[in-house]
Amino acid sequence: MQIFGVDIGGSGIKGAPVDLDRGDLADERFKVLTPHPATPDSVADGVKEVVDHFGWTGPVGATFPGVVTGGAMIRTAANVDKAWIDTDASLLLGDRLGGVPVTVVNDADAAGVAEMAFGAGRDRKGTVIMLTFGTGIGSAVFTDGVLVPNSELGHLELHGHDAEKRASSKVKEDHDMSWEDWAHRVRQYLAHVEMLFSPELFIIGGGVSRKAHKFLPYLEGIKAEIVPAELQNNAGIVGAAMRAANGG
């Protein structure tokens, strides 16, 4: 069975048909840059471009970098235009795509759902936290495999700032930080999250998961096991498709 998944991020919008039996992309993903400003209409145009690239006409699952309630309503918009707040994203995207059903889910939650089903979180009990490092820091919290939605732990305060303003991969790029220097900030962040939630496992996702060997050795002193996401930066696409297949 195939469903289309789209991952809307602060820097890029990427998508592909997903083979839900394998938990993997059924075709090579297609990506466009996130428009700036990332208004609802401009982002919807980007999503349409990605979906139209494949000639897809069926149901679509889409991630969003913020709190999403009820499979549709946007409640926060930290890394896109504030006009998204209180937008029915399912209605907006569905209209732009010609009336197909669209399910919208928090981006990190989608990635986490995919990793728990097909990746590094398979069969893991207890508390598992997936953290996605990109334009911001997304989080997905699971207890015995059950998702606690919209946790948004990237906005925890760390040294007087939103954690994602100190430790996202965008911060690393913007300040041309070495992997070791950036990992020091990530370690401080993980220690803070660990103090609050005592997880058994951290799964590190986002684009940096492809280069985990460059920073994982520096994350010393964390009691929880730390592993890279097995689906890497495709986890959000897979998870969005999974949610759409399950009706939200």
| Mean pLDDT of the region 19-42 | 97
Average pLDDT, the chain: 96
- Give 125's pLDDT tier (boundaries 50, 70, 90): very high
User: What local confidence, expressed as pLDDT, does residue 102 receive?
Assistant: 97
Q: Is the distance from CB of 245 to CB of 3 less than 8 angstroms?
A: yes
Domain with CATH 3.30.420.40 in the chain: 2-106, 110-234
User: What local confidence, expressed as pLDDT, does residue 248 receive?
Assistant: 63
The sign of the torsion formed by the CA atoms of 105, 151, 69, 41 equals: negative
User: What local confidence, expressed as pLDDT, does residue 78 receive?
Assistant: 87
Q: What is the topology classification, in CATH, of domain 110-234?
A: Nucleotidyltransferase; domain 5 (3.30.420)
Query: Given a cut of 70, is residue 128 above it in pLDDT?
Result: yes
Other Cβ atoms less than 10 A from the Cβ of 230: the count is 18
User: What local confidence, expressed as pLDDT, does residue 246 receive?
Assistant: 86
| Mean pLDDT of the region 29-55 | 97
Q: Is the distance from CB of 211 to CB of 178 less than 8 angstroms?
A: no
- The DSSP 8-state label assigned to residue 238 in this structure reads H
Query: Given a cut of 90, is residue 119 above it in pLDDT?
Result: yes
What percent of the chain has a predicted confidence (pLDDT) above 90?
94
Report the run of H or E that residue 3 belongs to, with start and end: strand 2-8
Query: Given a cut of 70, is residue 188 above it in pLDDT?
Result: yes
Q: What is the topology classification, in CATH, of domain 2-106?
A: Nucleotidyltransferase; domain 5 (3.30.420)
Strands (E), the chain: 2-8, 12-19, 24-25, 30-33, 60-64, 68-69, 73-74, 102-106, 127-133, 137-143, 146-148, 157-158, 161-162, 201-205, 225-228
Query: Given a cut of 90, is residue 71 above it in pLDDT?
Result: no
